[in-house]
Structure 1
Amino acid sequence: MYDKSDPRASLAPKASAGTIAQTGLVAEQQEGYFYASAPLISDATGMTWMHRGHNFLVAYTEAQPGAMFERVAQADEYAVLLPQAGAVITWGGTHEDVPGNSLAFVPPGDSTVTLPGGGVLVRLFSTQNTDLAEACGNARAYDAPRPHIPPFQPWPEPTSGWKIRAYSLDVPSEEGRFGRIFRCTTLMINVLEPFDGPRDPSKMSPHHHDDFEQGSLALNGEFTHYLRWPWTSDMADWREDMAIEMASPSMLVIPPPVIHTTRATAPASNELVDIFSPPRMDFSMKPGWVLNAEDYPMPEDQPAGRDERS
């Protein structure tokens, strides 16, 4: 359910009258309050917090000048988000100087990310990297299987082969396009444009996902996340509505099929990043929405039976 001004309104199909959600799909949201909790890693590189979903995880670091972060035998492609500080990324004998306000994708294998001047570094991985998944503060939250979420399946390899790919986030707004969306083989990342002041409460966007999680990473500002568990025929599935207030930096993982919407509440700038793994087909099928679509092809066939609601 979207306000008519929301670009996602064109994605949402009309719900069938009388439809009852499947039972047994209850899962708890995963809250990571980086600003109010001790870092999982505190050493010469800086302070790092790690928080996971079913298919993805986030490593949020306040890096010291000159800090280097190495991945050896990385299982698959990962993302490097640089909100302000620049970095030098190496892979396969090549290096890329990536300025701040950029998003980069790094191929599998051995690589390093170095921040000469320090600053905030956000790395996003798939949970196929079990060493990182096990290091997350909420790792045990996924010991119980989530059978309603399909097994992770990466998307096709990039059209011109593996290499470091960096994209500026200095992208002008465009009417009808939602956010600043980029995808790789493992992730879809929507770096939403900064929002000044509280969100208009008359223009919210409650919606749900049938079979995939959404990660909401707060980089700046304050947010209230509203969650509603749908009623099924089994009262054991029912939950009270929640309004979760989170400052920044923080990370919330929203499970399906929870109905959710988020309101920015800080009077100044609010910055939020939405994370999905693997990439979303519905967003990918909207012309012009995925800003690097030419680099990363879609699967030839959409997965059967997948309800691509937003």
Structure 2
Amino acid sequence: MEGQAAFSDGSSSSLVRGEMKLEEDEEDFRSCCEDEEVWKEIEEIVKEEPKEDLDEFSVKMFFKGMSIAEDGDSGSGFSGIGVVMERIEHVPVIQVQKKLDFYVDESVADYLALMDGLAEAMQNNIRRVYAFTDSELLYDQITNEEKLEVPLLIALRQRILEHASNLEAFVLKLSPCFDLERPLRLAQVAVGVVSFPANGSESRDNCSICCEDKMSPMMITMKCSHKFCSHCMKTYVDGKIQSSQVPIICPQLGCKYCISINECRTFLPLISYESLENALAEADILHSDRIYCPYPKLFCPA
């Protein structure tokens, strides 16, 4: 049975199952967040679990944070988050994709993914969120108030609960990792990770554009066999889109291979990929509007 916890408003007080238990870290929690009013509200918002009946104001939220260390345990690397919110049928999903400006542990990235997902949900007038995570640590700390000793996590949990208190219902569930493949992929693309290396592998490859040795998971091999890092390819493709130079040719000098849109999907963030689709569509329209002379030899001599 999957774990879960539910938060909802006080409109069904007769169905209350219990209040959130405050653990020994309550004083630290309050002193860190310094918001007694918000804390009092949170103490009252745990009620019976709502069902996952989606409507225009409800979503199923799948979120994931990911981090990849650049130099072993040196504390440097890349972190990103991905969120996918499913809505009722025929309504587009809501997606959040972000590369963090700093490297954090993956557990912290999970917190940030949930926090940003809830913020985005509220901006889209969502009132009920059914969230799914594969992090037992996050689940236990959000739902069971497990003892926390890290000030950053204490503060992030507070922010998450603040967002939850503004919703009619918030349900957090444990879910198998394969249910989170979509948000994980968003997070990977955000930081430039194309593939994961084998355990223990720290191999690097040279990028033909920046001429630097990059981690293998961040390298892309085109079908023409030329290899570049995902960061350089993103910059290259963005430049071509802005100048309307589509289809996009391989950046290798002398290569005439046209990079497929499916290849671009593996390394382009959502916004860049949508821009590429629009640019290709506009190019097709311009091409289709061309009128060719039916008598080129007569009226258009070479």
| TM-score relative to the length of structure 2 | 0.25
The one of the two structures with greater contact order (alpha-carbon pairs below 8 A, sep at least 6) is 1
Higher Cα Rg, which structure: 2
Q: Which has the higher helix share?
A: 2
| TM-score relative to the length of structure 1 | 0.25
